[in-house]
Chains A and B, each alone.
Chain A
């Protein structure tokens, strides 16, 4: 598969997953760990009778955002400026990186602390700044670990989910001076805490991502469990927040829907530890927002794919994806892996990422868990057709398009199915969910509740 991508001199998803699959116990462990996260998500979702209504509404709000983005962006800009924030616009990754560098240069800064931002991964900001003499320290523990390992994150929410604690112990031994052979997560986390506290206290510029930006008020919200975005920003003289233009939501009250959905979908937590609302710089501080396009307006114009811009980066589609779980995030050779990454990447470069929409069984489990109801698997299917039409897929593969769903990915990833005694549900999340029509049903079908939603709703609506 994907012989086309290989001509570009890179390995495609299938090759990279073969590499990942050489270590079977590790693949099984990766698979099980992510499935564990998925089950936590299920428990959190099923504990709210209104879950489907929340998804439906969040999806509706995002539809409205995409249809009125032109106004919302200007409203957001106007409010942010009135709040004392400097607003920048970047057409692409290059311009984004240049803007960040120019702010650093203005302050003669050569060291920066950064909390999680998938956008800066997408723009390869760290490499760019390094080449320009600026050192970046990632402060999210998982991101710091992959940074020390000189690897990209393999998951948008769980950046080092592919790493065993012994490997992390080795990294910390070399870089942070922990005892050789120490692999206790508690001890390793404490070592990182001490090391990063020092970083927070000495950096003058902090860069963060943005989870939501409110047009009505000009504020933006950053969600973390560790408190690293806040530690960095409240101690720094300059706070730079980078966001894709699709992160806008209309009103503050809409945050309630997204904050109820985000953490539950991501890790099964009722909410992240911190949901920080940044509106104005603190006295004496400088605050910047960089609004980035980098292909988003193009995707907005692709009717079949624009819904991918509704994504709130919860990672649920990765945790549930049988292919992701058994191929690992790095096999997607893109900042954002998994089902959603496979829709976003070809928008940026069809040739380079022609393999990704094929890295799916089209089982639909991703669409079923997505908190904003993106039709992920339909879009993957549509991308395949576009890529064939545009000549980015080998003819052999194109002929097989119709039977594609099972023939491509399944044998590769599920050869060990029976052996390891994995549950049927985990291998085929859709099969148990819905025996009759696995692909187009919109809910993931948990055990039916005692009372139907309708009954519950009419009883509780007062």
Chain B
């Protein structure tokens, strides 16, 4: 008997009688989503900008980050601003990226998380290996809670996807919060 069969047999023998899955509706409020999103995101160290145009985003980024360093993006609108040809690269070749500009499919007001799926990443490592990360999200794609987020995601297929909330951080040394653990040192969110 393989371990697989042994484990499955033991599970079958020992599991209790079937209990049904709970079916619940979690109450939700759709009020002030942008305000809520901004509050929560700022609370965990992200910077949030409500913007009208791509050129506005570019000028904000130019003001805050070192433009002489390497920038990458998967967004056609930023082709004049950052490298777009990253799909074929070995992920290690992205080691010196200063700024990455990506797009999220949705944002979640209750925790400021942004859903980025592989299709929009170019490379999975991009939002982690860059020193600074900028993510665009459409205003009407800010949803109240994780329940609406997963409803939106539904059954779509992806190889990899992530919720990203704020810059990477750690509080492992005496609980003092330090931004920029292994991933980006800052997160700028542009609500468009």
Asked if B145 lies at the interface with its beta carbon under 8 angstroms from chain A, I say yes
- A201 — which chain B residues lie within 8 A by C-beta? 92, 95
Asked if A74 is at the interface of the complex by the 8 Å CB criterion, the answer is yes
* B77 close to A (CB within 8 Å): no
Residues on the A chain within 8 Å of B165, using CB? 270-274
Of the candidates A73, A158, A230, the one having the most CB atoms from chain B within 10 angstroms of its own CB is: A230
Known contacts A201-B92, A234-B91; A256 and B124 CB within 8 A of each other: no
Segment among B50-58, B64-72, B97-105, B178-186 that sits at the interface with chain A: B178-186
Q: What sequence of 0s and 1s flags, for each residue 17-28 of chain B, a beta carbon within 8 Å of any chain A beta carbon?
A: 111111011111
Q: Which residues of A contact B146 (CB under 8 A)?
A: 255-257, 259-260, 271
- B175 and A68: CB pair below 8 A? no
Residue of A nearest to B40 (CB): A270
Which B residue's beta carbon lies closest to that of A141?
B172
Residues from chain A with Cβ under 8 Å of B161 in the complex = 276-277, 279
Contact of B128 with A189 in the complex, beta carbons under 8 Å: no
Q: Does A393 contact B (CB under 8 A)?
A: no
A contact patch SS: helix
**CB of B169 within 8 Å of the partner chain:** yes
B186 to chain A, nearest CB (A): 12
Bound: A190/B180 CA distance, A: 8
The chain B residue with its CB closest to the CB of A115 is B182
| CB of A408 closer than 8 Å to a CB of B | no
Contact A225 B170 (CB under 8 A): yes
Which of A61, A70, A257, A291 has the most C-beta atoms of chain B within 10 angstroms of its own C-beta?
A70
Whether B123 contacts A234 by the Cβ 8 Å rule is yes
Is the Cβ of A256 less than 8 Å from the Cβ of B149?
A: yes
Q: Give chain A interface residues in 230-253, CB to chain B under 8 Å.
A: 230-231, 234-235, 245, 250, 252-253
For chain B, give the interface size range. 35 or more
Asked whether, in the complex, the Cβ of A252 is within 8 Å of the Cβ of B153, the reply is: yes
The reply to whether the CB of B83 lies closer than 8 angstroms to some CB of chain A is no
Answer whether A188 and B11 are a contact pair too, CB < 8 Å, given A63-B19, A256-B150.
no
Cβ of B29 under 8 Å from chain A: yes
**B110 in contact with A270 (CB, 8 Å):** yes
Contact between A460 and B15, CB atoms less than 8 A apart: no
Given A260-B145, A306-B16, also A226-B123 (CB < 8 A) = no
Choose among A50, A142, A235 the residue that contacts B27 (Cβ–Cβ < 8 A): A50
* Distance in Å: Cβ of B95 to nearest Cβ of chain A: 6
Residue numbers in B under 8 Å from A159 (CB-CB): 172
By beta carbon, the residue of chain B nearest A96 is B3
**Contact code string A50-87 (vs B, CB < 8 Å = 1, else 0):** 10011011001101101111100110000000000000
Show the binding face of B for A, using Cβ within 8 Å. 2-4, 6-8, 10-22, 24-29, 40, 44, 91-92, 95, 108, 110-113, 123-125, 128-129, 145-147, 149-151, 153, 155, 157-176, 178, 180-184
Q: List 14 A-B contacts (CB under 8 A).
A: A60-B21, A64-B22, A141-B181, A165-B176, A185-B173, A193-B182, A226-B168, A227-B128, A227-B168, A234-B124, A271-B108, A271-B165, A274-B163, A274-B165
Enumerate the 10 nearest inter-chain pairs by beta-carbon distance, A residue then B residue, closest first: A227-B183, A301-B14, A270-B111, A226-B181, A60-B22, A142-B172, A234-B125, A297-B10, A280-B159, A256-B146
Given contacts A73-B11, A160-B173, 16 further A-B contacts (CB under 8 A): A53-B26, A54-B26, A66-B15, A68-B15, A70-B11, A89-B4, A142-B170, A160-B172, A165-B174, A226-B170, A227-B181, A250-B21, A256-B147, A259-B146, A271-B163, A275-B163
